[in-house]
Amino acid sequence: GNSVTQMEGPVTLSEEAFLTINCTYTATGYPSLFWYVQYPGEGLQLLLKATKADDKGSNKGFEATYRKETTSFHLEKGSVQVSDSAVYFCALRAGGTSYGKLTFGQGTILTVHP
């Protein structure tokens, strides 16, 4: 079946540090890939997405590139802020027997200190 693996957390950074959260996936067919963010006490919001190989998704200074050859979709940001503290989820949607359900990684807790 489909699966998503994210780097272990939690991640703690100082403000303006560089962020990378690794994400790799296993899927049949041609999945679409997503990063969702969950701020404390809130629901999940789409952060960015990529629907085909070599696409780059970007939003709010975050970027991720769909790499089919390495089955990866790593999240990066050049300079994090305290307000970026949240839980980040890598996810995919694919067809076949998964019927297009979103399959999530385990989530990475990010804490940014001033």
Partner 1 sequence: DTAVSQTPKYLVTQMGNDKSIKCEQNLGHDTMYWYKQDSKKFLKIMFSYNNKELIINETVPNRFSPKSPDKAHLNLHINSLELGDSAVYFCASSFAPGQGVRWTEAFFGQGTRLTVV
Task: List interacting residues with partner 1 (CB under 8 A).
Answer: 30-32, 34, 36, 38, 42-46, 49, 51-52, 87, 89, 93-95, 99-104, 106-107, 109
What's the min distance (Å) between Cβ of 84 and partner 1?
17
| Residue number with CB closer to partner 1 (99 or 114) | 99
| Residue number with CB closer to partner 1 (49 or 74) | 49
Token pair, residue 50, equals: 């990529």
What's the min distance (Å) between Cβ of 16 and partner 1?
26
Token pair, residue 111, equals: 């804490």
| Residues 89 and 42: beta-carbon distance below 8 Å | no
For strand 108-113 and strand 11-14, is the pairing parallel, antiparallel, or unpaired?
parallel
What's the min distance (Å) between Cβ of 11 and partner 1?
14
- Spatial distance between the Cα atoms of 39 and 45, rounded to a whole number of angstroms: 9
Our measurement of the distance from residue 65's CA atom to the centroid of its chain's CA atoms, rounded to an integer in Å, reads 10
| Residue number with CB closer to partner 1 (66 or 74) | 66
